[in-house]
Structure 1
Amino acid sequence: MKGIQMHPSRKSILVTGCLLLALSMSACTTVSEAAPKNSGADTSAAAPSITEIKVNQKARDLLPESIRSAGVLRVASDPTYAPFEYFDTDNKTIIGWDVDFSDAVAAALGLKAEHVAGTFDTILPGLASGKYDMALSAYSITPEREKIVDFVQYINGGSGVAVMAGNPQNITMDPTSMCGKKIAGQKGSIQSMELIPSFSKECTASGKAAIEVQNFPAQTEANLALTSGRVDGVVADSTSLAYQSKLAGNKFELAKGKDYDPAPAGLALAKDSGLKDAVTEATRDVLDSSFYRGISSKWGLPDSVLVTSDVLDKK
């Protein structure tokens, strides 16, 4: 969201398999339901042109020969998480910020990106087995994930809370405002597995009712539960929630307050793929280009989440 050629003991295979399962369960998206059937990209300004991304020969020379000769990068995403990745009106073409970004990385490498849809629980194992070359699906970079895959950072992001328009339940970014309420997250996401449960513990620790946590297979399903009145709030990536609100006709909005746990996010690569050095150099070019800010404006990403190529020099 590659191949890991392992020749370990049976015990280490089991451990690695468990790590892969844990990592995939922490992914941000699932493909069980398509995103809204209309594009919410900002078309009022001139679209950024991929032609401004030139081949970085240094990066291309670092590619494994098999990739360089194939001329293609197989890029996996879970297309239910607008504006990062979702299906266009034909329900076949994957569009979004991650798509544009990976197209630019591929162009800097002198390659073409081939976009493949996957479910959140199969993308990382697929990356490890060599089914894909790269995965972009709004991944937060976590220590657990870094144990099994390599990341190249391209953005920062945090979590927000979506509430019905007008906020009738008076929910804020203060977790105790959610005590006793029905709060949804996407099944397997960091929000559903870590954030919302931690909020509920704050509630009970302060003598208030626990949050009634409700998890849904797809982000779109969680949003639908909110707009239909089945839940009181949804916790997810704030940038994605803001964009999806527009696609839903502003039926819901973000609760006021600063994002929870802003953290780096990036594209994922299998550790033994031989791609990290090449992709890092290509990503450096993209982050330093006007194309990066152009696609961010196109897809409604705020300046506050954007990064510079300096992040690639940090260990």
Structure 2
Amino acid sequence: MLALILGSWAIFGPTQGPAVAQAPFDLGPEQPGRVRADKQPEAIAALPKGFKFVEPGVFTVAVSPGGPPLATYATDAKTVVGADADFAQLIADSLGLRLDLQPIAWADWPLGLASGKYDAVISNVGVTEQRKEKFDFSTYRKGLHGFFVRADSKVTAISEPKDAAGLKISVGGGTNQERILVEWSKQNVAAGLKPIELQLFDDEAGRLVALRSGRVDVIVQPHAQLVFIAARDKDIRRVGTLSAGWPLKSDVAITTRKGSGLVDALTNATNGLIANGKFRASLARWNLEEEALDRSETNPPGLPKY
């Protein structure tokens, strides 16, 4: 049941496979366009007195290179690049630290973080009430699903259930997206509108083929995945987004050990980056401005236990 509620990967996890050829973004290891930041005295002052990082002077961050644009291996097959890698660099800069990115399998982050192998995880981790029992969170991005259509589609916008009435939508079977759209369809029928016709697929390739062939009108899956595909292939376009926790808000956060004392400094640094525009500029490199938060929060309400 939990996997159904939390999505394709349990809030939110990897997004897709390795980077492909003809990528629309710079996937080289040098990253000359990466946005950098100055030290933030207020964030540094918020660090607990005597706090010991895994390595002195270094911000050690775990990240899962699950796929662009969030995190993937660069063209050298060893350097991790993407929006989460960029954000980790901004936080390290703000704290006056050198960044050490540690590539991991996404499922391994809870044990590795709890055992002190790294200072933080910046890898598309969503805030949940269950996770808050063991970890602290500093939010930085919205957890979103995306509605995308063929470039020549007559569908212009989807923001609420009635906008999807009567449409054929491809979605991953057993995912959070399916759960949400089933509820949307029920609301439409109750309101006297047409139901949503869902076509379930186990893989992204099948969903995209259904969309491109005209068998469905819309594809719905994690937003960042589709942003990358749209930029790469230029034959699909976004017509809306949806909170991954609908009807609740669902945010992505820097994750640290519960009670380590690091969370306030990270929230402070993130809000500084939001205020000075560095964070939004960093997301813009990967066409993810839609996911920017207006304010970072420490341990906000997360998705409930199920």
- TM above 0.5: yes
**More displaced stretch, 232-241 vs 149-158:** 232-241
Q: Count residues with an aligned counterpart.
A: 288
- Distance (Å, rounded) in 1 between the aligned partners of 2:49 and 2:24: 37
Query: Is 1:233 matched up with 2:218?
Result: yes
Deviations 1:133-180 (A, max 9, x none): 422233443445434432101234543311222226888445353657
Normalising by structure 2, we get a TM-score of 0.70
Q: Indicate yes or no: 2:69 matched with 1:83.
A: yes
Q: Aligned pair 1:150/2:150, yes or no?
A: no
Whether the aligned pair in 1 keeps the contact of 2:15 and 2:222 (CA below 8 Å) is no
Equivalent position of 1:269 in the other structure: 256
Change (3 A) 1:22 1:201: closer
Partner of 1:113: 100
Provide the C-alpha distance between the structure 2 equivalents of 1:113 and 1:228, rounded to a whole number of angstroms.
44
Among candidates 274, 287, 299, match of residue 300 of structure 1: 287
Equivalent-residue separation in structure 2 for 1:313 and 1:140 (angstroms)? 11
Q: Which secondary structure state, in structure 2, belongs to the residue aligned with residue 138 of structure 1?
A: coil
CA distance in structure 2 between the partners assigned to 1:93 and 1:234 by the alignment: 31
From the superposition, tell whether residues 167 and 140 of structure 1 become closer, same or farther in structure 2 (CA, over 3 Å): farther
Does the 8 Å contact 1:98/1:138 carry over to 2?
yes
Contact 1:37–1:87 (8 Å) recurs in 2: no
Which of 47, 50, 55 is residue 36 of structure 2 equivalent to? 50
Q: Distance in 1 between matches of 2:169 and 2:213?
A: 13
Partners of 2:5 and 2:258 in 1: how far apart?
Answer: 17
The alpha-carbon distance between structure 1 residues 134 and 304, as it changes in their structure 2 partners (threshold 3 A), is closer
Higher helix share: 1
Identity %, equivalent residues:
24
Separation (CA, whole Å) in 2 of partners of 1:21 and 1:211: 19
1:4-43 alignment, distance < 5 Å: 25-30=9-14, 33-41=17-25
Partner of 1:246: 231
SS at match of 1:167: coil
Structure 1 distance, partners of 2:173, 2:65, is 13
Find out whether 1:93 has 2:84 as its counterpart.
no
Cα distance in structure 1, aligned partners of 2:118 and 2:214: 39
- Contact residue 23 and residue 145 of structure 1 kept, 8 A: no
Runs (4 or more) in structure 1 with deviation over 6 Å come to: 18-24, 168-171
Contiguous gaps of at least 5 residues in structure 2: 302-306
Asked if the contact 1:53–1:104 (Cα under 8 Å) also holds between the matched residues in 2, the reply is no
**Partner Cα separation in structure 1 for residue 189 and residue 143 of structure 2:** 28
User: 1:9 corresponds to which residue?
Assistant: none
Task: List per-residue Cα deviations over 1:241-286 (Å, max 9, x = no partner).
Answer: 33431122x121122x564556433222232444323333433443
Structure 2 residue 210 is matched with structure 1 residue 199: no
Cα 1:277–1:88, aligned 2, differ >3 Å: closer, same or farther?
Answer: same
Are positions 1:166 and 2:152 aligned together? yes
Structure 1 counterpart SS, 2:54: helix
User: Aligned equivalents of 1:212 and 1:259: distance in 2?
Assistant: 17
Indicate conservation of the 8 Å contact 1:179/1:208, yes or no: yes
Match of 2:304 in 1: none
Q: 1:214 matched to which residue of 2?
A: 200
2: distance between equivalents of 1:286 and 1:42? 22
Match of 1:289 among 273, 276, 279: 276
Q: Distance in 2 between matches of 1:259 and 1:22?
A: 14
Closer, same or farther: CA 263–159 of 1 in aligned 2, 3 Å: same
Which stretches in structure 1 are left out of the alignment for 5+ residues?
A: 1-17
Residue 195 of structure 1: CA displacement? 2.0
Q: Which amino acid aligns with 2:140?
A: Y
Question: In structure 2, what is the Cα distance between the partners aligned to 1:168 and 1:162?
Answer: 12
User: In structure 1, the residue corresponding to 2:75 is in which secondary structure?
Assistant: coil
1:62 and 1:277 in contact (8 A); partners too: no
